Amino acid sequence: MAEIRIEHVTKRFGDLVAVNDVTLTVEDQEFVVLLGPSGCGKTTLLRAIAGLGMADAGRIIIGGRDVTYLPPRERNISMVFQSYAIFPHMNVYDNIAFGLKMHGMDKTEIDRRVRQSAEMLHIDELLDRYPNQLSGGQRQRVAVARAITMQSQVLLMDEPLSNLDALLRLEMRAELKRLLGDIGVTTVYVTHDQIEALSMGDRIAVMRDGTIQQYDRPTVVYDRPANRFVGGFIGNPPMNFIQGQVQREDGRVAVCIGDFKLALDATAQSLLGNYDGKPILMGIRAENMEVSAQPVADGLRVQVLVAEPLGSQNLLTVRMGEDTIKVSTHPS
């Protein structure tokens, strides 16, 4: 059992509150991503879980044990860093085996674990090589192999793919997701890359200014953001925001955008039924709109400012009244 419970954790650096009263739970064998812009507190929170930066307030519980003020070596965790931190004077085998040797494990068990993890990561033919003989992707695999060889309760990963090129990141995302699913380790993964978060995480904690803005499954975070920050941060392009006003007429609720009246489905009508005459801010994804060259019923006239062909889609920048929004269309 390796559930992680973070209870009202706060971390300060002088007058700066880097993590502010954060509470969340990572279930046993769950893959949770801490996502947010630079300076939001995600790495500081990860370091608090690891014991590399002690929390100033709150509690951190791993596997039912309060580890808030324990040093890293007593927390039964492994870490993978952005820089990989593999030793240049050791070959791949010795790099993977290093932690096991420090724990005084016998040579037979060390050899078994090293070869098992190397095989899982497809680097079993590289065990005699040195880091300067490896590609970036191979060095990243060595760092992951060293971490999983320890068979710790918890794996903490701090932007491990950010140094790789785009194609290699794509390959390693799938590789890591498969591997961590196979070994069933509780994982906390820090990234500023929303594609990594959406594609890899069981749940995503979106952070801003040291607080959790939303903590939920990727589909929920994407489709039903908790606030404007989450909607504007998640998605490429980010969610469009449009000013409108609620109007009730003949028992039906609609939203007026300038001279245009947007009809609503039953769910939206029930949500906005008590907002008659009030201004609202609507969020809509670029792919949730359709474009027609001809006037259509319930359609809104827009002016196309820029068209960007992107292969599988075209991204249009259009002006709608006083708002400029993004619309995604399929090439025709």
* Residues 42, 101 within the same domain: yes
Structure tokens at 315: 């991204």
* Domain closes at, from 193, 217, 233: 233
273 and 198, same domain (yes or no): no
Residue 82 in this model has a pLDDT that exceeds 80? no
Q: Which of 190, 211, 233 is the last residue of a domain?
A: 233
Look at residue 61 and tell me whether its pLDDT is greater than 90: yes
pLDDT at 251: 79
Q: Is the pLDDT of residue 40 over 70?
A: yes
Q: What is the mean pLDDT of residues 70-91?
A: 89
93 or 267, higher pLDDT: 93
Give residue 314's domain range. 240-329
Average pLDDT of span 265-287: 88
The reported pLDDT for the residue numbered 261 is 83
d(CA 236, CA 197): 13
Which token pair is 45?
């929170």
Q: Are 211 and 21 in contact (CB under 8 A)?
A: yes
Same domain, 218 and 301: no
Q: What is the C-alpha to C-alpha distance for residues 296 and 59, in angstroms, rounded to an integer? A: 58
| Token pair in block for residue 28 | 């046993």
Q: What is the pLDDT of residue 189?
A: 96
- Per the prediction, the chain carries an average pLDDT of 91
CA 277 to chain centre: 38
Share of the chain above pLDDT 90, in %: 60
**Mean of the pLDDT values across residues 277-289?**
90
Q: What is the mean pLDDT of residues 272-279?
A: 88
Q: State how far the Cα of 230 lies from the Cα of 166, in Å rounded to an integer.
A: 24
Tens digits of residue pLDDT in 189-206: 999 999 999 999 999 999
Please answer whether residues 179 and 99 qualify as being in contact, where contact means their C-beta atoms are separated by less than 8 angstroms.
Answer: no
pLDDT number for residue 164: 76
Which of the four pLDDT bands, split at 50, 70 and 90, describes residue 121? confident
DSSP conformation class of 126: G
pTM: 0.88
Q: Which residues does residue 262 pair with via DSSP β-bridges, in sequence order?
A: 255
The reported pLDDT for the residue numbered 330 is 85
Whether residue 60 sits in one domain with residue 171: yes
Specify whether 141 is located in the same domain as 50.
Answer: yes
User: What backbone torsions phi and psi does residue 328 show, to the nearest 5 degrees?
Assistant: -100, 130
Counted domains in the chain: 2
Question: In this structure, how many other beta carbons lie within 10 angstroms of the beta carbon of residue 1?
Answer: 10
The verdict on 29 and 45 lying in the same domain is: yes
Residue 278 has pLDDT above 70, yes or no: yes
* Together in a domain, 226 and 255: no
Are 15 and 61 in contact by the 8 Å Cβ rule? The answer is no
What pLDDT was estimated at residue 253?
87
Distance CA 11, CA 53 (A): 8
Amino acid 332: pLDDT:
67
Closest to 59 (Cα-Cα) out of 21, 2, 14: 21
Residue among 245, 253, 243 nearest 281 (CA): 243
Residue 121 belongs to a domain with what CATH number? 3.40.50.300
Same domain? For 323 and 220 the reply is no
Residues paired with residue 317 on neighbouring β-strands, in sequence order: 306, 326
- Two tokens, residue 313: 């889609």
The tokens of 82 are what?
């952005």
CA distance 256 to 249: 12
3-state SS, residue 77? strand
Least confident of 64-73, 210-219, 237-246, 288-297: 288-297
Q: How far is CA 2 from CA 62, 104, 128, 197, in A?
A: 6, 24, 34, 21
Residue with tokens 């519980």: 61
Cα–Cα nearest to 148, from 101, 111, 98, 183: 183
Q: Do 221 and 244 fall into the same domain? A: no
pLDDT surpassing 70 at residue 1: no
- Across the strands, what pairs with 313? none
CA-to-CA dists, residue 117 to 51, 60, 102, 151, angstroms: 25, 29, 18, 10
Whether residue 323 is found in the same domain as residue 289: yes
Domain co-membership, 162 together with 98: yes
Identify whether the C-beta of residue 190 lies closer than 8 Å to the C-beta of residue 38.
no
> Looking at the structure, do residues 51 and 190 belong to the same domain, yes or no?
yes
Rounded Cα gap, residues 13 and 16, in angstroms: 5
Range 156-162 average pLDDT: 88
Q: How confident is the model at residue 186 (pLDDT cuts 50, 70, 90)?
A: very high
Please report the DSSP string for 106-148 in residue order. -HHHHHHHHHHHHHHTT-GGGTT--GGGS-HHHHHHHHHHHHH
Among 208, 233, 258, the domain boundary falls at: 233
